[in-house]
Amino acid sequence: MNRLILKSAAVAFGSVAVSLLLTLIIVPALGFPISRTIWLTSTVCPLALAWIASATTFWQSERLKSAHRELARAHAQLAAAHRRLSEKASRDDMTGMLNRESFLAALDGSRRKSDRGALLIIDADHFKKINDSFGHLTGDDALLLIAAAIERGVRSGDVLGRIGGEEFAAFLTGATEQEAKRIAERIRREVELIRFRPVDERTVPLTVSIGGTTCGEGIGVSDLMRAADRRLYEAKHRGRNLAILDRDVPEAA
């Protein structure tokens, strides 16, 4: 407010100065004497009119600036809320990993950026037995422990998702066959080391079976998923708590 008054005063006094200067030039040139009335008119009228007009103009300008700032702030808050909602919609509520749709989209995007990589599908062994024996809430606790173990097993930058009830997936960007085998085994071991005690201090073993495949350039997401699923089925069939990987899926024609 003080700034607005000072600006209005500056404009008003400037207007008075210009008015007096014109009066001193024009009135004598017309052959009239400069009377008290002329002095008052040349001073009071521009002072009052300029002050009121400039104050109104500056006030409206400040309101517009304030409205613009509020609009920009609201837009930033809306954009942030939209990002949070988009992020939340892409995540599994329980584990915080990408949900199935978002994982497949991220997998497709990663495949476009990298010529190499490996896909792992990780399935919790005998998980229905845990749910049936201890209830779904205890089963959720077990899934959270498994998810944390998977996160410990992968590298920074790898893409993780929960793609089913007790099924997870990891895309190991740029990984070679040997790297993928090491990471799959590390995940399997991290889960096996979990000491899960849902009731009465009795330890319930947690294990996972892992099927995976490394891939070359131009391989579609569906082909990768099918290849990894085949290896997962093989791991389950051979007794579970295993990690089995394919060699490269043949490149698309």
The catalytic residue positions are 166
Query: In 3D, which of 168, 151, 159, 186 has the Cα closest to residue 228?
Result: 168
The answer to whether the beta carbons of residues 119 and 215 sit under 8 Å apart is yes
Structure tokens at 113: 């950026």
Beta carbons within 10 angstroms of residue 119's beta carbon = 31
Cα gap 162→97, rounded to integer Å: 6
DSSP string, 145-180: HHHHHHHHHS-TT-EEEE-SSSEEEEEEET--HHHH
